Amino acid sequence: MNSNLHISVLRLSALGDVVLCASMVLHLVKSGKFKVSWITTSQTKLLLGDIPGVDFIIVPKPKGLKSFFECRRILKAYSFDCLMLAQASFSAHFVSMHIKSKRRIGFDSSRSKDLHRFFINEHIDGKDEHFLDAYYSFAHKLGLQTPAELNWEGLFLAKNNKKLQKLNLPQGKPILAVNPSASKSERNWTIDSYAKVIDYAHQKGLAVVLTGGSNITELNFNSEVCSACLLSPVNLTGEIELSLLPYLLMKVDMLLAPDTGSIHIARAVGTPVIGLYAVANPRLTGPYRADEFSVDKFDLALEQFSNSKNKSFYSRVHHPSAMSLIQAGEVISKVDAILNRLSLLPVDKK
């Protein structure tokens, strides 16, 4: 294979998806067969940092005519042998219109939306698989074999100890991080349930920190969680720089979260995850091959709340009561299971 093939990967968002995609991008680089460019937004670059062997081409978020011409200005200087259109959305298709490439690989019809097929000339094979496996299917189209163990070696290597110290994380105790709020409210667990788990963690001698973004909805939701607890956790909502989040999740001992990007970041840095799933299929979006501590109510939610006749691996349960199927006691048992696995003592973090 020609070692000078120039591959472009187009994945703009969301944070969890770019972390999953990063594993495949690292695989391309490690093969030594390609020159790799990643076309994405500044937010992705801020989260991932520098990746040796990857040229980041930063484009604006597609929002209108101005960003249309800006994308064209940035991308007109480039020509690629292959485009991996690893996002089926109008925004990604908008950007792809300005990319010159002989091959344009995208998703199969079952994972295609927003007129995806009109922007590609090849597609990966259709199958029921985790998002991460789907990204590796793109690399397979270039002749690369999927490794037995998929990983993120080579990512999140910066030194951020000084910045972490400024967060004043609890010392001398195992730490449970909780990212309560998802991007869509239907994925959120109940405030009362979060409070029960946090209260239990405090009783066991754990420290608890809340994480989240700075939008008002997330700030308010996390504040309500704190107010519902007997002892308020350390609330870092809105205080954590995006570039620092992976390093924070390295420091904690476990993460509790619904279907959010933080789950995939924690998985990438090797932190045990308690994922909460009822709206989406964890076999599709859960912590990759690390779901033993997650609580899965997807099939039950699909049975109870979905009226769709076309239920599938990729279905979503859009019902406000779906996440209520998850009981606090089930999550508490997962906290205990992780503590047992890690052999952590409640009074002394190892």
Which pLDDT score, from 0 to 100, does residue 310 have? 80
| Distance in angstroms (rounded) separating the CA atoms of residues 204 and 201 | 5
The sign of the CA dihedral 238, 244, 246, 251 is: negative
Which of 35-39, 61-65, 78-82, 193-197 has the lowest average pLDDT? Answer: 61-65
**Length reported for the chain:** 350
Whether the Cβ atoms of residue 55 and residue 38 lie closer than 8 Å to each other = yes
Q: For residues 334-346, give the mean pLDDT.
A: 82
Per-residue pLDDT band at 1 (split at 50, 70, 90)? very low
Which pLDDT score, from 0 to 100, does residue 347 have? 47
Residue range(s) of every CATH 3.40.50.2000 domain in the chain = 5-140, 161-342
**pTM as predicted:** 0.94
Per-residue pLDDT band at 161 (split at 50, 70, 90)? low
The sign of the CA dihedral 143, 149, 152, 157 is: negative
Per-residue pLDDT band at 343 (split at 50, 70, 90)? confident
| Distance in angstroms (rounded) separating the CA atoms of residues 154 and 332 | 34
Which pLDDT score, from 0 to 100, does residue 240 have? 93
Give the model confidence (pLDDT) of 220-255 as tens digits. Answer: 999 999 999 999 999 999 999 999 999 999 999 999
Which pLDDT score, from 0 to 100, does residue 55 have? 98
DSSP state of 12: -
Half-sphere exposure (Cβ direction) of 229: Cα atoms closer than 13 Å: 23
Which pLDDT score, from 0 to 100, does residue 166 have? 77
| Whether pLDDT at 147 is above 70 | yes
Which of 154-158, 201-205, 256-260 has the lowest average pLDDT? Answer: 154-158
| Whether pLDDT at 312 is above 60 | yes
CATH architecture under which domain 5-140 falls: 3-Layer(aba) Sandwich (3.40)
Identify the CATH assignment for 161-342 out of 2.60.40.10, 3.30.750.24, 3.50.50.60, 3.40.50.2000.
3.40.50.2000
Residue 189 CA to chain centroid, in angstroms?
A: 18
Give the model confidence (pLDDT) of 95-121 as tens digits. Answer: 999 999 999 999 999 999 999 999 999
| Whether pLDDT at 346 is above 60 | no
Give the full edge-to-edge strand order of the sheet including 175-178: 234-235, 207-210, 175-178, 254-258, 273-277, 295-296
The residue written with tokens 């990438």 in the block is 268
| Distance in angstroms (rounded) separating the CA atoms of residues 276 and 325 | 10
